[in-house]
Chains A and B, each alone.
Chain A
Amino acid sequence: MTLDEVKIGGLGASRRRVEDNRFIRGKGNYVDDVVLPGMLHMEIVRSPLAHARIKKIDISGAYKIPGVRLVMTGEMMAARNLGWMPTLSYDTQAILATDKVRFQGQEVACVIADDPYIARDGCEAIVIEYEPLQPVVNPMQAVAPDAPLIRDDKVNQTDNIVFDWEVGDVIGTDQAFAEADVVSEIDMHYPRSHPSPIEACGSIADYDRSTSKLTVYMTTQAPHIIRAAVSLVAELPEHMIRIISPDLGGGFGNKVPVYPGYVMSILASILLEQPVKWIEDKSGNLISTGFGRDVYLKGQMALRNDGKILGVRMHTDSDHGAFFADAQPSKFKIGLMHSAFACYDIPNAHLTARGYYTNKAPGGVAYRCSFRVTEAMFFQERMVQAAADDLGMDQAEFRRKNFVRDDDFPHRTPFGFLTDSGQYEKCLDVGLEAIGYDDFLKQKEEAAARGRLLGIGISTMTEPLGAGNSREYDILGIKMFDSAELRVHMTGKAILRTGAKTQGQGHETTWAQIVAHELGIPAEDVVVEEGDTDTAPFGMGTYASRSTPVAGAAVSMVSRKIRAKSRKIAAHLLEVSEEDIDWELGRFYVRSAPDRGVTIQECAMAAYSNVPDGMEPGLENNAYYDPPNLTWPFACYIATVEVDPLTGVWDVLRVVAVDDCGVRINPMIVEGQIMGGLTEAYAMANMQFITFDADGNCVGGNYMDYLLPTAWETPGFELHEVVTPCPHHPIGAKGIGECATVGGPAAFVNAVIDALKGTGVRNIDMPLLPDRVYEAVTQHHDVSGAPPVKTD
């Protein structure tokens, strides 16, 4: 009898998660839970100023405290050639500041002591004299005539510009604008935000002189990249470095870059020959590690009166902070910003981008985002709404008119991507039906007559997930493929390892489901391991929604290699030729006599006990998967809101999400990802941002100032699905982890702007705090730019 795929935990099973068994018992193993014998503790002294020359550091006080073992400063690091390190974007970053500090919260010294309390005492006892310099807190200031040079450490740097970059067809786009009936424009700012996993960063470095081996437990989403980086920075041979990324308390892009704290703990362990643990506090995490966003976006859309989009111009000014430390594919300076408008059939587009150094922490990481796609899609969907309004067209109809049609795939986007598949109109229809679009429009009108402001916002988008094919995608020259290794034991149980690294996505559960789907081995018979560079095959890690598209595909491919070998073994066991054998889930059988067959488990046993002549024994293999294209999921998010004109407070009435991420491996987990993403979308639209005052002080450096939604504020979500299998992924799956964070914010903002329609307000920049909405409602104008901060 054929196996029931769902029963064995294969594709489509909402299998309960394996990893939960330890998490619900409090038995997870996060970095801070790891204790090594003789372990010391490190704490960091950070700069209170955004821009200042370091005049003097007096560390003598720290050494007077019993239990302080070592104090490190930039000077000491520089003496060992470790003052600076390369970033993942071909820039350099200070490990400990030597000459000057370039952002508030920058690492200036560190203390290693017997326990963290003593290390803190040591930090308090260090006296640092600064000479304040003029701070630069946004791109406009960065290019002002009197702007100080932030990166005076770089030989050929004469201004505060990181890069200028462009893509698209400037001539064709100019032509489109010349032919336009209407040109719609929008200017906006996507504010700085912090991914802020609840667990901050940390590491435990353990250098063993007797074996010359360095083991580092580390909060990293990409352990293999870190191993390569540590090898280059610390000049240690790569095979003598073992990076272990244990359970991670969330990542969201925050745990991709290489942070100075990691490197300091490594050097300290090498110097002291003892394990050194560094556990970052939350304010350290919020003020110094990978921010996302902080981009000013300007756009123009060329339109025909009938609603057809003829062309788009985009310009971005992105604030990268003091060091260009994003992890971006190296070809694309502003990430995949140019994936904007991929779901619309637009003949011409042109994008220019300029990056700036400022006196802020290094930013621009892919915060739950495939490299700037979040900014791109927010811009796209705000622009689309503005254009529909300018034309006086219904926002749903305007989208429908410009969508790429179902029979038009693969489709070349105006910036040169190739989208793979989709049913855009169907998703929109499912969404409109679910929210009751026409009824809501009536309701809105009736409410308006009574002075109530209701609004509906739509956001539809396809985004590129799963970087990427090696022709185009690399980080520091390392190609962005991924890997899986599968060992099937003689009793038919198996261990699977991949180069990805789960941080809540549930790989331990879902990867086993792919093996179950390919081989018919029940998912519960497959254990999954990730995150240890000594055992896992090389991979680029988990971010940018790339795990399922790349590592997940590798899991399929390695399983198929195992199946191919098993088929030969089956032929041998059944004493027929391979061509006479067919496969059904979990079993090979003789085509002419289906009752005669052997299970995959029997093949596994034979692989160790009875292989055909000339065959290598054993049943294990690996696969490196270089995807032919990115996967292109589609989403339609619709929110309805009510704005209170007397306070500027807005409430979410309903949220409908229609996601098409192809084949769903584990529907329960997919839905969990979507709800998590929608919550971050709501957070960004409503409250979550980090800003700076005129002196460069970070406002939002703790959870009292950096507002994250709780269960109380977070709205409920209504989820729907459409399935368009990915044509080039082995099991038809597409990325999903970030879709809702990417596409969600515009639905909320569009809804609020829709509620204010007719008042002359075209834009309010996120977050839509009550005071900003109130200002817009009462004064009938746009409220744009980074929120001003009042300081005493």
Chain B
Amino acid sequence: MTSLFEEVAPSEDDNIPVRRVEVRLNGERRAAKVEPRLLLAHLIRQGFQLTGTHTGCDTTNCGACTVLFDGEPVKSCTMLAVQAHGHEVTTVEGLATASELHPIQEGFKDEHGLQCGFCTPGMMLAAKALLDHNPNPTEDDVRWALSGNLCRCTGYQNIVKAVLWAAEKLRDADPGAAEGGDE
């Protein structure tokens, strides 16, 4: 590969050169030396080879590249990799555990919330951010929370249903959480 990135071993060394980036990616410490201009989306996709994060535009509009950055949804095509240094990044690959899908993933499958699947990872992460804050969303809450993500296939109705399905499942699993959220 080229000078764009080179994966290196994680280390405790705080005295990090500008081009060394260390992130907690889906719970795992990963580090790389990168060109300062490298976009976070490209570090994730080409550098760390997690290709579930997609890129669909050049203008921060489509949301296909959405990841969670310290729990908040961000468009990883519009962040530099170096800005992620020291932060937590969750991608679609971090949603499921080894044995179990996340309810949002189950909901998308069960409610036919995807067709070509290209927008899906971004949609699911935007949905996760919503449900983490608001376990009891209304249809309008869901539509608003996903309005930074474009889908050309589904017409959104089933995506909305999928998120509401997941919300219900999460509430059933943890009734206490439904009271909470940070509304």
Interface residues of A (CB under 8 A from B): 16-17, 19-28, 30, 32-33, 35, 67, 114-115, 117-118, 196-200, 247-252, 281-283, 503-506, 668-669, 671-672, 675-680, 702-704, 708, 710-712, 714, 716-717
A249 to B153, CA, bound (A): 9
- Secondary structure type dominating chain A contacts: loop
A669 to B116, CA, bound (A): 12
Told that A16-B112, A17-B109 touch, could you supply 14 new A-B pairs with CB distance under 8 A? A17-B112, A25-B101, A26-B92, A30-B118, A32-B54, A35-B46, A35-B49, A198-B150, A199-B118, A676-B154, A679-B154, A711-B156, A711-B159, A717-B157
By beta carbon, the residue of chain B nearest A33 is: B51
Say how far A379's CB is from chain B's closest CB, in angstroms: 24
Q: Chain B residues near A17 (CB, 8 Å)?
A: 109, 112
Digitize B109-151: 1 where CB-to-A-CB distance is under 8 Å, 0 elsewhere.
1101011111111001000000000000000001110111111
- Of the residues B49, B116, B120, contact of A24 by C-beta under 8 Å: B120
- Of the residues A25, A118, A249, A671, contact of B105 by C-beta under 8 Å: A25
B61 and A115 contact, CB distance less than 8 A: no
A672 and B115 contact, CB distance less than 8 A: yes
- Of the residues B4, B108, B117, B148, contact of A249 by C-beta under 8 Å: B117
B147 and A26 contact, CB distance less than 8 A: no
- 5 A-B pairs whose Cβ atoms sit less than 8 Å apart in the complex: A20-B108, A25-B105, A199-B118, A506-B115, A711-B146
A710 and B56 contact, CB distance less than 8 A: no
A117 and B4 contact, CB distance less than 8 A: yes
A67 and B2 contact, CB distance less than 8 A: yes
- Of the residues B37, B46, B152, contact of A197 by C-beta under 8 Å: B152
Q: Chain B residues near A247 (CB, 8 Å)?
A: 116-117
Say how far A315's CB is from chain B's closest CB, in angstroms: 32
By beta carbon, the residue of chain A nearest B125 is: A26
Q: B residues 84-123 with Cβ under 8 Å of A? A: 91-93, 95-96, 101, 105, 108-110, 112, 114-121
Q: Chain A residues near B149 (CB, 8 Å)?
A: 710-711
A679 and B156 contact, CB distance less than 8 A: yes
B93 and A25 contact, CB distance less than 8 A: yes
Known: A24-B101, A26-B50, A33-B51. A711 touches B115 (CB 8 A): no
- Of the residues A22, A678, A703, contact of B62 by C-beta under 8 Å: A703
Q: How many residues of B contact A (CB 8 A)?
A: 60
Q: Chain B residues near A114 (CB, 8 Å)?
A: 2
A30 to B116, CA, bound (A): 10
- Of the residues B37, B52, B57, contact of A26 by C-beta under 8 Å: B52
By beta carbon, the residue of chain B nearest A673 is: B115
Interface flag for B12 (CB, 8 Å): no
Q: Chain B residues near A281 (CB, 8 Å)?
A: 58
Say how far A117's CB is from chain B's closest CB, in angstroms: 6
By beta carbon, the residue of chain B nearest A199 is: B118
- Secondary structure type dominating chain B contacts: loop
Q: B residues 12-48 with Cβ under 8 Å of A? A: 35, 37-38, 45-46
Interface flag for B160 (CB, 8 Å): yes
Q: Chain B residues near A24 (CB, 8 Å)?
A: 92, 101, 105, 108-109, 114, 117, 120, 124
A672 to B50, CA, bound (A): 28
Interface residues of B (CB under 8 A from A): 1-2, 4, 35, 37-38, 45-46, 49-59, 61-62, 64, 91-93, 95-96, 101, 105, 108-110, 112, 114-121, 124, 142-144, 146-160
A199 and B143 contact, CB distance less than 8 A: no
B144 and A712 contact, CB distance less than 8 A: yes
B116 and A710 contact, CB distance less than 8 A: no
A671 to B158, CA, bound (A): 10
Between A and B, how many residue pairs show CB distances below 8 Å?
177
By beta carbon, the residue of chain B nearest A505 is: B115
- Of the residues A67, A199, A671, A675, contact of B56 by C-beta under 8 Å: A199
Q: Chain A residues near B49 (CB, 8 Å)?
A: 35
Say how far A574's CB is from chain B's closest CB, in angstroms: 41
Say how far A510's CB is from chain B's closest CB, in angstroms: 12
A27 to B62, CA, bound (A): 20
B116 and A704 contact, CB distance less than 8 A: no
Which among B4, B52, B58, B119 has the greatest number of chain A C-beta atoms within 10 A?
Answer: B58
B51 and A32 contact, CB distance less than 8 A: yes
Q: Chain A residues near B109 (CB, 8 Å)?
A: 16-17, 20-21, 24
B155 and A199 contact, CB distance less than 8 A: no
- Of the residues B35, B52, B101, contact of A117 by C-beta under 8 Å: B35
A250 and B152 contact, CB distance less than 8 A: yes
B59 and A703 contact, CB distance less than 8 A: yes
Q: Chain B residues near A678 (CB, 8 Å)?
A: 155
Say how far A280's CB is from chain B's closest CB, in angstroms: 10
A421 to B151, CA, bound (A): 34
- Of the residues A198, A283, A680, contact of B118 by C-beta under 8 Å: A198
Q: Chain A residues near B91 (CB, 8 Å)?
A: 26
A32 to B56, CA, bound (A): 11
Q: Chain A residues near B120 (CB, 8 Å)?
A: 23-24
Say how far B23's CB is from chain A's closest CB, in angstroms: 17
A199 and B54 contact, CB distance less than 8 A: yes
- Of the residues A22, A118, A503, A702, contact of B59 by C-beta under 8 Å: A702
Q: Chain A residues near B108 (CB, 8 Å)?
A: 20, 24
A22 to B51, CA, bound (A): 12
Say how far A705's CB is from chain B's closest CB, in angstroms: 9
By beta carbon, the residue of chain B nearest A674 is: B155
Known: A20-B108, A199-B118, A711-B143. A115 touches B50 (CB 8 A): no
A22 to B116, CA, bound (A): 11
Q: Chain B residues near A712 (CB, 8 Å)?
A: 143-144, 146-147
Known: A25-B92, A672-B158, A703-B57. A250 touches B150 (CB 8 A): no
A26 and B51 contact, CB distance less than 8 A: yes
A250 and B116 contact, CB distance less than 8 A: yes
Q: Chain B residues near A669 (CB, 8 Å)?
A: 112
